[in-house]
């Protein structure tokens, strides 16, 4: 018997598979562009001194860009880490290793989500501290 797929409004709007899929792919392109830009600056200058580097890295444009890229990076990483979690930290895959471990899959997955969410918060705090305070 087929069961009708249902979800609440919030879940349907934001946790839509195709939207998440696109968000991860397109964010990767923007992050890549940023890395190319920064890498080009570092490798194209013959002499790299503290003044040249901080004039570039702590300019208003790059501070804003870095902060926005961090947000995109966390989005990209959270989608990827979440996918890996739902693929491997399951009753089935953990059960291959150990049956009792498999029964704890849901708890372990939640702890793993908590871990990377906290890491994301920590990275945001470090960037705010380094760039804006």
* Binding positions for other proteins, rule: CB under 8 A: 25, 28-29, 32, 35, 48, 50, 53-54, 57-58, 73, 77, 80-81, 84, 96, 116, 119, 123, 126-127, 130
Return the number of the residue (7 or 118) whose C-beta is nearest other proteins: 118
Residue with tokens 């946790």, as numbered in its chain: 15
Whichever of 14 and 53 has its CB closer to other proteins, that residue is: 53
Q: For residue 69, give Cα distances in angstroms to 28, 30, 77, 127.
A: 10, 8, 12, 11
Closest to other proteins by CB, 9 or 51:
51
Q: Which is nearer to other proteins, 7 or 36 (CB)?
A: 36
Cβ of residue 120: shortest distance to other proteins, in angstroms?
9
CB of 127 to other proteins, least distance (A): 7
For the chain, state the CA radius of gyration.
20
Q: Can you tell me the distance from the alpha carbon of 98 to that of 104, in angstroms, rounded to the nearest whole number?
A: 10
Residues 6+ apart with CB under 8 A from 34: 65, 66, 69
Q: Taking the complex as a whole, how short is the minimal distance between the CB of residue 94 and other proteins, in angstroms?
A: 12
DSSP state of 12: H
């Amino acid at each position: 018997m087929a069961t009708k797929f249902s979800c609440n409004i919030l879940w349907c709007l934001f946790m839509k598979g195709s939207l998440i899929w696109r968000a991860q792919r397109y964010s990767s392109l923007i992050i890549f562009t940023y890395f190319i830009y920064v890498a080009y600056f570092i490798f194209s200058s013959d002499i790299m001194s503290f003044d040249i580097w901080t004039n570039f890295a702590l300019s208003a444009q790059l501070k804003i860009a870095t902060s926005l890229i961090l947000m995109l990076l966390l989005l990209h990483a959270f989608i990827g880490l979440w996918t890996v979690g739902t693929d491997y930290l399951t009753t089935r895959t953990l059960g291959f290793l150990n049956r009792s471990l498999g029964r704890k899959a849901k708890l372990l997955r939640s702890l793993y989500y908590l871990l990377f969410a906290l890491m994301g918060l920590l990275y945001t705090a470090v960037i705010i501290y380094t760039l804006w305070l």
